[in-house]
Structure 1
Amino acid sequence: MGKPSLIFLLPLLLLSSLYSSSSTPYSLSQGSCICVEKPDDILLSPNGVLSAGFHHFGDNAYGFAIWFSEPLYDGNHTVVWTANRDQLVNGRHSKLSLLQNGNLVLTDAGQFTVWTSGTNSNSTVQLQLHDTGNLVLQTSEEVIIWCSFHSPTDTLLPHQPLTRYTMLVSSQSPSNYSSGYYKLYFDDDNVLRLVFDSLEVSSVYWPDPWLNNWEAGRSTYVANRTAELDSSGHFQSTDDFHFSAVEFGIGPQRRFTMDVDGNIRLKCSCIPGYKMTNHSDWSYGCEPEFDLPCKDGDNEAGFIKLPHVEFYGHDSGFFSNYTLKMCEEQCLKSCNCRGFQYKLDNGFYLCYTKALLRNGYLSPSFRGAMYIKLPKANLSSYDKPIQLIQEFRSGCSGQVSVQLNRAYRKPHEDEISKFILWFACAFGGVEFMFICFVWCFLYKTHQGSVSTTQGDLQVATKFRRFTYTELKKATKNFSVEIGRGGSGVVYMGVLPDQQVVAIKCPNEANQGEAEFLAEISPIGRLNHMNLIETWGYCAERKHRLLVYEYMEHGSLAENLNSNTLDWEKRFNTAVGTVKCLAYLHEECLEWVLRCDLKPQNILLDSNYQPKVADFGLSKLLNRGGENNSGFSRIRGTRGYMAPEWIFNLPITSKADVYSYGVVVLEMVTGRSPTTSVHTTGDGREMEQRRLVEWVREKMNESATMASWIEEIVDPMMPSEYDIGKMEILVKVALQCVEEDKEARPTMSQVVRMLMHQQDSY
């Protein structure tokens, strides 16, 4: 598979002798229980190989579990199933009871129900542990009403099916059996997959996500979803995935286990320059030991090479046929870059810059290397790469002790002391409630209508209101600048839940809070797949901030200067952008004019899908109004503004159409409309006409369509293009930049023209 083994099989020897039936029960009948305080109070399988009862998982922490009876070399047992892995119980008064109604109930300290089978039967039932390891609740007619095989934890036993309704979930660590982050399950396409699923990020890592199912040797054409390990050590899945154990054949007792780290060992050690976030639990990951103040282009950083180490996902950029030096420079000039992946693939060197370091592993089969970005001052301490890799491969050593704190009721408490304590608590509670009531009344009176306005805004727009302290911390005191324009500065931030966001400080931030809230409130009612998503805002004292989703590939302007945008990406960008503008003009509740459309305000996500951004200059107008006098000044950027702005004519949606046409011509030609300025006799700057006139001249002068297309197309476009479709795109753009706004199409008309071409693409 090209990756380290992801499934862990552990052979276990058969017992040489069986337990005596006279010393251990084989079933639990109705009205009976198994108590945590009686170590010998267990169920035993008929062949004695497996036991079920209370297992000690930590200090005063027990779970009702199934384990192999024969102990390991250290005296511990191999657990294969736990009823209450995420809510362990006390070592006193806890018990598993089979009630008269047929329900199996696990109680903690005799007071709290932490797990139940949820069963009910009018027949006589009993609980038995079969030789297969299946804990079965069945009637006297041997009808199974519940069994542990239908709710596995991290282990499959031979002939225990994994189905579309079940999954294996790893433990947190070797000593913490609670649910971890690695899961084995059947996806909706009928394929068996492994996923790392934490609170911060979720990512499929096997089979290789970039492969089609058939390329990974999987089949999706199945009637059901089932996988099973047989007693000989052969694993077979309905999606055509199968393998056999090395010691294949009848003999050792086997189990199929989702390991605590998904068998990706890098999860169990920190890369150079990083340390454990929580020294008692590896599941918290690692954090940098250094502080790297950064400005774009700063050369205070260097790289340490980790051969055969790969980090999957979270690419901030992809660059084909780059030299190692070019890849280093690309990462150094971006404060967002934590390092880069560099490898040879099909004769090309590929460079992947990383915004986050997640899903890492070390494998000799990986032919590339990871280059970690560190301060230059730290590089000398990591000058032995072989030693680094050996340290990097070290296993999980962090141990977690589970400590429960439960209070128990003592039978002979002093009743007078109890009454005095109760009276004091009640009196104190009443007094506290009175103080809170008075304080809240005074606070609400002081806040008045401001609180109502803010609450109504949050409900209406679904925004989150951030505090300035939160955003200051998220941006590391606004240290990582990722954009700057006429409407403000944008910084990268990381929220406490590890979501990466873009935080904008508008230039027009001197307005009052009520005015600011009134201006941003319509944004919450806008929703389109090609429109940047606004997550929240800050309006605290003098601070006015907006929080947007973060776009991995930056702006269209940045990508036009590289070789990352082929013909298909450019055409899709043109289509996605015009769909968004058509929505703003004709579909949303308010009529929104973008007013400053340019490549810097079109962002690209991880799949190079466009999203229109930066509403700092947008204007909400009455739908259908032609003479809109709401613009107190020229809005836009030189080179992309329609003639209406210059001649002080009424502004309509056709102004955005003009800007869109200029952007499309820039995408096709790679030429900026602002590179030169041509001044007419009346003093008007007509630099945008230079690009428009140049394209029209090439079209009119050439004898054939193919020749003029080839003359204007951006020479950096890295792939072949369809000449006929390119001609349509250019001609649509030229219609959009007509001097007479009445001759320009509407955005919805442009959508129809381009969608017709996209359908035939």
Structure 2
Amino acid sequence: MCWLNLVHHFQLVMATLIFFLQLSLFLSSFSRLSCSISDTLHKASSLSVEKPSDLLVSPNEIFSAGFHAVGLNAYSFAIWFTKPSHVHNRTIVWMANRDQPINGRLSKLSLLRTGNLILTDAGQSISWATNTVSTSSSLQLKLYNSGNLVLRTPEGVVFWQSFDSPTDTLLPEQPLTRYTKLISSRSQTNCASGFYKLFFDDDNVLRMIFDGPETSSIFWPDPWLLSNQANRSRYNDTRNAVFDSRGHFKSSDRVEFQATDFGKGPQRRLTLDSDGNLRLYSLEEPSGTWVVSWQAISKTCRIHGACGPNSLCTYDPSVGRKCSCLPRFKMINHTDLSYGCEPEFNLSCKHHEAAFIKLPQADFYGYNLYIWRNYSLKMCKNRCLELCNCRGLHYRFNYETGVYDCYPKREFRNGHGNFGGVLYFKAPKDLVSDNEPLEEFRLGCSNDDTKQLDRAYKREGEIWQLRFFLWFTGGFGLFEIVCILLVWCCLYRTRQRSHAAMEGYLPAATGFRKFTFSELKKVTRGFSEEIGRGVCGVVYKGILSDSRVAAIKRLNEANQGEEDFLAELSTIGRLNHMNLTEMWGYCAERKHRLLVYEYMENGSLAENLQSNTLDWEKRFNIAVGTAKGLAYLHEECLEWVLHCDVKPHNILLDTNFLPKVSDFGLSKILNRGGENNPSFSRIRGTRGYMAPEWVFNLPITSKVDVYSFGIVVLEMVTGKSAITSVNAIGNEGEMKQRRLVKWVREKRSRGALMTSLIKEIIDPMMNGNYDMDKMEILVGVALHCVEEDKDARPTMSQVIEMLLHHPK
């Protein structure tokens, strides 16, 4: 019994000893940790690149400053958000030596007794310095809660601060002045200075410029606009821009915007990204995802230098920006888009040895030799062939003057697709053939972050046997708890990431406001006033908090409603035209999917045709406006957008009966490169307005919208609906049901003159009060648009030209 008591006593003593050893080890580690992390570096002190624990951390622990790996054995001293993001391990906001990294051994950041803050490379050369001098013994380097790293005395005398020398990022309350600028990174994985700059120009206007190795050009605001046309003011002396913690940005030249999630809450940063776009980011908690809450340029291919010379930029929403070499050109550097492409041929100055390769829907901004107004294509080509320095030309119709203009080019830079007009460029005759393909190229490197070097710090004198014993005795008890926590965290993060993937990215770059479901329920008074209904959902009237009247579309909660929500939001977010409905916001909360539009006082075209509120002049103007909106979708915006459901119910009218095409739930964004796109998973549209291609499974192009537009115009002229059959029309008295197009064509075949046809088919509600010439134009255009053969139909730009410049 005594022996058993002795054993029990020994076990109790050992357990107590182990407990106190663990407690001692924990307190020792905590003490070392707390001592190594501070927000201040004092005089005659330094931070070492070899000690990852040598950090400055702001009092609120939001920001950290220390050495950041930018490559293999290459480091920069930087400031970053302490909490890792969902995508990047560190979100860098400032760098001291971005263009001159230091060695991973023996390098230090030191505050000298002279008051100079220096960064030494491997203990030898000075890589970066503040060049400050102070005799104050209390001089210190302090990282503040704002993310500002300040060299100052306790009395408040500032000798240097990081806010005065930004790199590519501004933080809240950090001003951009006449003495500072933002310079983008070279790429997503290369932190060195890139080619894009944000700065105040000599005319006091905030601008963005592409400053490449061979050329430079301003692209924001649009360079062809005067300052007042771009809503900028040159008459200011402050040259100051800043944004606050709520997400409101204001500049002395009248640039002003606010985040879509405006208000107190998330951490924010304004960054000039490596692709040349200025974006305001908000940090979503707790997923750690940075979401774009505003961006300067929605059409990213309009950013100069996006793809380098002799290459064309197009945008695909599924993969982003893409670059393509011109036909008969090849990529120069497969790891850097900025080098562009070079020709595979030598071009002679002898005009009879050259010909032109045609590239539709493309343009290269700038570098025009001349501008030749009212030129035929033949005249334009001949003049270019006569000029040795003319490498090609851009030929397009000018809607303001009603004539074609010619732009001969001396260089091909800032190329972008999906643009009105046609590009022709010179090549040797023996190399010119029809349908030259574009060679698409992308960077051959990964966008993954640079991996950090493994520099785990080993404490001297550590006894591995004791450590093993302590871990063995204490670790097993914690094992189950850790496992439970890990499983819980994994499930939680999976739900969060899934939620972020569905809700976070959708409106990021569109500038829409994000509403909550309870907000929209309140402004619609519980969804009580229904103003429209369709297969995708119901539309309600609501009054927003700023007194604006809105049309709020609540999509069905079935899978089809989800797909329509994604299509409509991703499509209309990239569109900006006076004849397209403007969307103000959205809601993506759990199962709820809602879209907030501007409210159109006069309802839809379908309602107005039934109520006899449209005279002939309004009908003609509605046809022209609708054609302009569709032409923008097909030919002017960066993506090739097919509406796929053009009908009177989706053409809304404002107070002045200005038409606006709406409802993009069935729209499709396609690559400009291939019109015969087979990626339609199902038939789209409304019976009665659908082109024959849908029924016979033929290649789908923009001509399906042209066909639907023709049906709509026939409805406006005749006052009859295409979705109802025509019974016993005219003197025939036939009971056989026939569609609207067939009926009009039969009438035309029996009448020799268009005038007699108009009199037979015109909407009786107009009581003979109409302009015969305009009605003849409408019917002629409509019949041209509803040709069975899609190649016989005009494009929407040709429709506009026929409507506005039809010979009398």
TM-score between both structures, scaled by the size of structure 2: 0.43
User: Structure 1-normalised TM-score?
Assistant: 0.46
